[in-house]
Amino acid sequence: MLSARNTIRSARLYSTASKTLRIGLIPGDGIGREVIPTGRQILEAVSSKHGLKFEFVELQAGFEHFKKTGTALPDETVEILKKETDGALFGAVSSPTTKVAGYSSPIVALRKKLGLYANVRPVKSVEGVGRPVDMVIVRENTEDLYVKEEKLIENPDGTKTAEAIKRISEYASKRIGKIALDIALQRQAQRDLGAASLHKSPIVTITHKSNVLSVSDGLFRETIRNFYNANQDKYSSISLQEQIVDSMVYRMFREPEIFDVVVAPNLYGDILSDGAAALVGSLGVVPSANVGDDYVIGEPCHGSAPDIEGKGIANPIATIRSTALMLEFMGHAEPAADIYTAVDANLKEDAIKTPDLGGKSSTQEVVADIIRRL
C-alpha cells in the first residue's frame, strides 16, 4: 500500500513508470451511485497518458445497505479496503431524519478504522467566476470536543449541568500540523506544474481560540509552531500565520482570497469547512479527502441529494476533484494537476454545466466535456 505521508513528500519525484493502483469504489446512497462511477471514468481517462493502470473494486456501505442487511458498513468492505486497495472513493450516505436503532454513519466509522485523522477540503473558485477563493481547510478529525465524553450532573437544587471534554493532544496537533504544512508544499508543487492559483507562495494559517482556551487551543497552536520552527530546512518557504477563530470566520467571508491552507482543531474545522463551501456556490463542486499516514479516501462534500436522485443531473465535479485529490495524496501529482485544469476549463466556459450551476447538461455530458479536455 502506498503511504500518504511519504508520497506527499515525494510527489515531485513522481515517475511515469507503469503501476497498477487498486481503487475501492463505495458509492453509498442516492447520487453517490451516480457520481462515483464518474471518478472511475476520469481515472480511466488519465491512466494511459501518465503510465498508470487502475483496477477497481466495488464495495458496499450506506443506509440502503443497512436497511437490507442490518449493517451500514460490512466488515468485508473494511477488510478489502485495508488489504487490497491503495485508496478509495466514497460517494454519500443518506442520513435518516430520526434516530434509527443500530445505524451509525459508515464514513465516520471508516475514518476511525483506517486511521484517517485529517479531513482535507479544498475550496476553490474558478478565475473570473464568482468571488476569488483558493483555500484548503485541514481539519483535525480525531479529538477536540468530538471525543464525545459528555456527562450530565444533577445539581443539589434539582437543575442539571452538562459537561463535555475538549481533548487536544500534542501527538494529534503535531500530525495535523505536519500534514497542513506538507499540503502547503504540495499545493506549491501543483502551482509549479502550472495549476492556476491565487497564491504565489505557501501560507498556513493556524486557527484557534487560545486567547480564551489558553491551555487546550494554546497547546494546538504551540505544537504546530514548534514543529514548524524545528523543521525549517523543509518548511522555510511557508509563511506560518494565525487567526483567532471568530475573526477567522469574519475574514474568511470578507476576504477569502488571502487564505491558502487553514489548519484547525476538529470543531472549528467542521464549521469553517462548511462555511468555506458556501463561498463557491454549489455543494456539487466541493471535494474532500480523508487522509491518514497510510491511506486516503476521496469524498465529495455533498450528501445523497434525494431530491435529484435518479435524474442524471447530479454535478460530478465534487467527485472528480475528490478523485484528483486522492491521486495527489497517493503521490501522483501530474494526473491530478491535469484533472484540476480540465475541470477549471469546463467551469470557465459556462457551456456544459449541470442545473445546480445554472446549466442544462446531464452528469454524463459534464464528464464527457471534462474528459475531452484532459
Decide if residue 279 touches ligand ATP (CB under 6 A): no
Residues 64-123 that bind ligand ATP (CB under 6 A): 92, 94-95
Closest residue by Cα to residue 266 from 226, 332, 336, 209: 209
Q: Which is nearer to ligand ATP, 132 or 281 (CB)?
A: 281
CA distance linking residue 18 with residue 48, whole number of Å: 9
Least distance (Å) between residue 133 CB and ligand ATP: 18
Q: Which is nearer to ligand ATP, 116 or 366 (CB)?
A: 366
Decide if residue 315 touches ligand ATP (CB under 6 A): yes
Interface with ligand ATP (CB under 6 A), residue from 88, 308, 347, 367: 308
Q: If DSSP codes are grouped into helix, strand and coil, which group holds residue 357? A: helix
CA distance linking residue 354 with residue 313, whole number of Å: 6
Decide if residue 304 touches ligand ATP (CB under 6 A): yes
Binding residues for ligand ATP, total number by CB under 6 A: 18
- From the list 3-11, 125-133, 148-156, 298-306, the region that binds ligand ATP by CB under 6 A is 298-306
Decide if residue 154 touches ligand ATP (CB under 6 A): no
Closest residue by Cα to residue 322 from 120, 167, 109, 70: 120
- From the list 83-91, 214-222, 224-232, 299-307, the region that binds ligand ATP by CB under 6 A is 299-307
Closest residue by Cα to residue 176 from 75, 265, 85: 265
- Cβ-contact 297, 88 below 8 angstroms: yes
* Per-residue interface string for the shown chain with ligand ATP, residues 338-367, x marking contact by CB under 6 A: ----------------x-x-----------
Least distance (Å) between residue 354 CB and ligand ATP: 6
Least distance (Å) between residue 223 CB and ligand ATP: 33
- From the list 52-60, 79-87, 201-209, 297-305, the region that binds ligand ATP by CB under 6 A is 297-305
**Segment holding 289, helix H or strand E:** strand 289-291
Least distance (Å) between residue 300 CB and ligand ATP: 6
**Segment holding 53, helix H or strand E:** strand 52-58
Least distance (Å) between residue 32 CB and ligand ATP: 9
Least distance (Å) between residue 21 CB and ligand ATP: 25
Q: Which is nearer to ligand ATP, 190 or 319 (CB)?
A: 319
Q: If DSSP codes are grouped into helix, strand and coil, which group holds residue 162? A: strand
CA distance linking residue 260 with residue 137, whole number of Å: 9
| Burial zone of 275 (CB within 10 Å; 0-12 exposed, 13-18 middle, 19+ buried) | middle
Interface with ligand ATP (CB under 6 A), residue from 33, 124, 221, 302: 302
CA distance linking residue 122 with residue 260, whole number of Å: 9
Least distance (Å) between residue 351 CB and ligand ATP: 18
CA distance linking residue 73 with residue 70, whole number of Å: 9
How far CA 240 is from CA of 140, 170, 225, in Å, comes to 17, 18, 8
Q: Which residues bind ligand ATP (CB under 6 A)?
A: 31, 92, 94-95, 283-284, 302-308, 314-315, 318, 354, 356
